[in-house]
Amino acid sequence: MADPTHNSDELIEVPASDILAKIKRGEPVEYDHVIINGDLEARNLNLPESLGKNYLGILVPKLVVASSIKIINSIINGYFDFRFCIFKDAFNIKNTEITGYVDFHTAEFHWYTNFEGTIFKSHSEFDYCKFCKTAQFADAQWLHWTAWFSSCHFCEDADFHKCRFIGGASFSRAQFIGDSDFWSRM
């Protein structure tokens, strides 16, 4: 977990199905100091769809996630698959350890996005994402695999200061419109 002052014995267990049910109902998802067991996958939630552009610029249906999502100081034991989604509200996964792969391929974040201090222990893919507001990744760590941010579009500020990319990072063809901060990369 990103916050070494807490160990997993102190965390309350929450099944991934509880989080997915809230997202399906459009309710806010708000958890602090929990361990989430199971996979978080949007594909089977029957969420409403909206047209959005894919990586080729072609309009395709994307799932619309209306819920604000805030999972902080926690552990997610499973994968996080929200590719081809549009996030309409704030997305905050801060100081959290994600053990499984993370896939946000071609996702659109329409509000503030925060992965500050998060530890990615497996493959993570943010290729072709669009971050419409500030994208915060400061102090995040990618421990084993390449962090993929190829062809991302950062419409406002992007903060990657003090990030740790053990397996490397790809930002090829990424566009930064606002300020971008990679200072003090470890």
Read off the pLDDT of residues 59-113 as tens digits, 9 standing for 90 and up: 889 999 999 999 999 999 999 999 999 999 999 999 999 999 999 999 999 999 9
Please check whether residue 4 lies inside any domain of the structure. Answer: no
Q: Into how many domains does the chain fold?
A: 1
Q: What span, in angstroms and rounded, lies between the C-alpha atoms of 80 and 128?
A: 17
Distances (CA, A) of 92 to 28, 56, 178: 11, 28, 20
Considering only CA atoms, which of 61, 107, 73, 74 is closest in space to residue 88?
107
**Which tokens go with 51?**
């047209």
Q: What is the C-alpha separation between 129 and 106, in angstroms, rounded?
A: 5
Asked whether the beta carbons of 123 and 100 are under 8 A apart, the reply is no
pLDDT recorded at residue 7: 65
Cβ pair 11, 34 in contact under 8 A: yes
| Structural domain harbouring 133 | 10-181
Whether 36 and 11 have beta carbons less than 8 Å apart is answered as no
Say if residue 154's pLDDT is above 60: yes
Structural domain contains residue 69: yes
**Considering the domain boundaries, does residue 114 fall inside one?**
yes
Is residue 102 in some structural domain?
yes
pLDDT-based confidence at residue 8 (cuts at 50, 70, 90): low
Look at 77-81, 141-145, 175-179 and tell me which has the smallest mean pLDDT: 141-145
| Whole-structure pTM value | 0.90
- Strand, helix or coil for residue 140: coil
Q: Report yes or no on 108 lying in a domain.
A: yes
Q: pLDDT band at 185, cuts 50/70/90?
A: very low
For residue 5, being part of any structural domain is answered with no
pLDDT at residue 9 greater than cutoff 80? no
Strands 141-142 and 12-15: unpaired
pLDDT digit string, tens, across residues 21-68: 999 999 999 999 999 999 999 998 999 999 887 777 788 899 999 999
- Asked if 172 and 147 count as a contact pair (C-beta separation under 8 A), the reply is no
Contact 165, 147 (CB under 8 A): yes
